[in-house]
Structure 1
Amino acid sequence: MKRLFIAFSLWFCITLLGGYLTVSYVVQSGDNLYNIAKKFRISPSTILDWNNLANPLKLKAGQQIVVPQPEGYLYVVKQGDSLYSIARAFFTSVSDILIANDLNSELIKPGQKLFIPQKIVGKAFNTEKGYIWPVYGVLSSPYGSRVHPITRQMSFHSGIDIAAPEGTPVFSSTSGVVVFAGEKSGYGLMVEVKSNNSIVRYGHLSKITVYEGQGVERGTLIGRVGNTGISTGPHLHFEVIVNSKTVNPLALLPSSNKVYVLKDGVEAAGGE
């Protein structure tokens, strides 16, 4: 990708990277994350995904924030990746990624940077039920009684585990308000989203891309898969609490054979 650096003003500067650009914005007195996101017409979650902010609710004047234009995510290809695995992680299509990155071949290599525009993300969410699958992965542990993978004792598992590579995007399964975003005992980095009489928990994240009090829509990026807390490998702990009691998330989600469904019906896939 060709780089072109443009100094625009004392408040921000622009770097052009192929089909997209990044803006380095200097936080001004009185700024907050919501207002900055509104100024650039993107979600606060996108800003948090691009930046490592110690406290998103307390920005400091002079602090620099990177903002992508158009809105989207940067993905660095890892060993073993294919455009198909990347497309499924972002619930989009291979053809859309090819077009967005001006690629004429599906061949990719480790270290290569791909831009995933927000407008193509979520095209393959299965929305046949009120909840969508929050991540594309493999169901590795069910809800209910099980032998705990660490203690080796029988215990009750209050959610389901979905194994996926570290850094895989995690999307909000429902619309609601973030009531917790931080570290919580065995859950590691965790997000809780409240919607009417339910609370949805997303645990063991490597990164959180929402803040407490933020309203999120179904499909909003809330974090990245990780291995934090009491965990034996990268996965998402997905838990649903209705009227103060946990329920089996599989009863609320679309079939595990149809985690990924392109809207035109061309392709459907379950967790790999």
Structure 2
Amino acid sequence: MRRISCFLFVFFFLVTAFGGFLTVTYFVQQGDTLYDIARKFRVSPSTILDWNNVNPLKLSVGQKLIIPQPEGILYTVRRGDTLYNIAKAFFTSVSDIKQANNLTGDNISVGQKLFIPTASIGKAFNIEKGYIWPTFGVISSPFGWRRHPVTRQMSFHSGIDIAAPEGTPVFSSAPGTVVFTGERSGYGLLVEVRSSKEIFRYAHLSKITVYVGQKVDRGTLIGRVGSTGVSTGPHLHFEIEVLSKEEVVNPLAYLPSTTRVYVLREGTEGMGGE
């Protein structure tokens, strides 16, 4: 009985409540893998990596991990933010954010942390063409020949640049397997996801939340927008290479219209595109 009481004490001591969610502090055990821990708590490995600065392939015994329950992502409010533009960044609805954070009005303050439940993320993904926009933003540089913003030399731009505030979530545009994570010259922090027909590249990230060998679904969080590598400001460089041709293609040919990046589907808070 005493042993059970001690266990319950430790368990509750390690669980912290914040508004509409809890965080569990888990200490890595011998033989643990990130995948095993994610399954134990019924969360994605990407969620654990987003909440913790750890090497997914080099966990050490006793290492502390913070795991949210229910599963979700934290967002820190920036100057100029509204609940609506935060909802667009997570492809969710304002009502979901308000409910998850016990908000009764629309007022938010700079520095405030908002919890976005994973269950509500993606309600506004436009899936009409099978591929989704990897982040919500504005195209700052198109595919094709251009004058490079840093070198000022004419060069071929192998993808599209989507400008968005640093820390904006980046989602996998299509399902596949992660084949590269890390730094690469020019690209900065880069994630490569391989499907049966294409390789998708997500570059200039500020944080990577996947690991090599991880299988991702359409909409899996793979990182956060940043400005690493050769970059003039926060944005996502998104690139698609067709394996059969061994050449890059214009991502706009695969993605939904730029006027319908964010579309709330039936049964959610209204309908519309942005």
Scaled to the shorter chain, the TM-score interval is over 0.9
Alignment-mate amino acid for residue 27 of structure 2? V
Per-residue CA shift, 1:54-78, capped at 9, x if unaligned?
x211100010000000000111111
Tell me the CA shift for residue 10 of structure 1: 7.6
Alignment-mate amino acid for residue 40 of structure 1? F
Between the aligned partners of 1:40 and 1:175, the Cα distance in structure 2 is 23
Tell me the CA shift for residue 13 of structure 1: 1.3
Aligned to 2:103: 103
User: Which of 250, 255, 258 is matched with 2:257 structurally?
Assistant: 255
- Equivalent pairs counted in the alignment come to 264
* 1:7 and 1:13 in contact (8 A); partners too: no
Alignment-mate amino acid for residue 248 of structure 2? T
Q: Assess, with a 3 A threshold, how the Cα gap between structure 1 residues 66 and 8 changes in structure 2: closer, same or farther.
A: farther
Aligned to 1:91: 91
Partner SS for 1:9: helix
Aligned to 1:43: 44
2:127 is the counterpart of 1:123: no
Alignment-mate amino acid for residue 200 of structure 1? F
* 1:27 and 1:61 in contact (8 A); partners too: yes
Between the aligned partners of 1:62 and 1:12, the Cα distance in structure 2 is 17
Partner SS for 2:29: coil
Alignment-mate amino acid for residue 260 of structure 1? Y
Between the aligned partners of 1:238 and 1:18, the Cα distance in structure 2 is 35
Q: Assess, with a 3 A threshold, how the Cα gap between structure 1 residues 263 and 10 changes in structure 2: closer, same or farther.
A: closer
Alignment-mate amino acid for residue 25 of structure 1? Y
Q: Any runs of at least 4 consecutive aligned residues in structure 1 with deviations exceeding 3 A, and if so which? A: 6-12
Please show how residues 166-181 of structure 1 align to structure 2 within 5 Å.
Answer: 166-181=166-181
Alignment-mate amino acid for residue 113 of structure 1? K
Aligned to 1:191: 191
2:70 is the counterpart of 1:67: no
User: Which of 254, 262, 268 is matched with 2:272 structurally?
Assistant: 268
Between the aligned partners of 2:59 and 2:13, the Cα distance in structure 1 is 16
Alignment-mate amino acid for residue 223 of structure 1? G
Tell me the CA shift for residue 82 of structure 1: 0.5
Alignment-mate amino acid for residue 32 of structure 2? D
Partner SS for 1:261: coil
Between the aligned partners of 1:252 and 1:24, the Cα distance in structure 2 is 41
Structure whose residues are more often strand by fraction = 1
Alignment-mate amino acid for residue 268 of structure 1? G
Where structure 2 has 5 or more consecutive residues not aligned to the other structure, the ranges are 1-6
Q: Assess, with a 3 A threshold, how the Cα gap between structure 1 residues 151 and 23 changes in structure 2: closer, same or farther.
A: same
Where structure 1 has 5 or more consecutive residues not aligned to the other structure, the ranges are 1-5
Tell me the CA shift for residue 215 of structure 1: 0.2
Tell me the CA shift for residue 88 of structure 1: 0.3
Alignment-mate amino acid for residue 79 of structure 1? R
Aligned to 1:13: 14
Partner SS for 1:150: coil
Q: Assess, with a 3 A threshold, how the Cα gap between structure 1 residues 7 and 77 changes in structure 2: closer, same or farther.
A: farther
Q: CA RMSD in A?
A: 1.6
Alignment-mate amino acid for residue 272 of structure 2? A
